[in-house]
Amino acid sequence: MKSVQDALYNWLTIHIVAKARPHDAAARDTASFFRAILENDFGVTAVDAVKDETNGQYIVEYVRGGETKAARFPLELAEAMWRQIEAEPEKYG
């Protein structure tokens, strides 16, 4: 990953899938993988996402270097992977 923003986006997209599909071990494992990248490569010690439907975005709050920061991602973009899986579940067993 080139930037913390890229890593946050990748974590968020699979985090959304893992939350929507708690039985999906691959999604959980992949979310953990991206969480580890955030920790190990970018020094992120905490991360959480909140869906803000009013403004059409996800707000990802994270702690880096002892400072709380936030990144915003459009709902459509962040939920694209999950929507594709839901539309074609036979491809994602």
What is the structure's pLDDT at 90?
A: 78
* Global pTM value: 0.92
Task: Give the model's pLDDT for residue 42.
Answer: 97
Terminal Cα-to-Cα distance of the chain (whole angstroms): 27
User: To the nearest 10°, the Cα dihedral for 32, 38, 41, 46?
Assistant: -110
pLDDT computed for residue 92 by the predictor: 73
Q: What's the CA gap between 82 and 30, in Å, rounded?
A: 13
Q: Delimit the domains of the chain by residue range.
A: 2-89
- In the predicted structure, residue 93 carries a pLDDT above the cut 70: no
Q: What's the rounded Cα separation, in Å, for the pair 38 and 45?
A: 8
CA distance 40 to 44: 8
Per cent of the chain over pLDDT 70 is 98
**13-36: pLDDT as tens digits:** 999 999 999 999 999 999 999 999
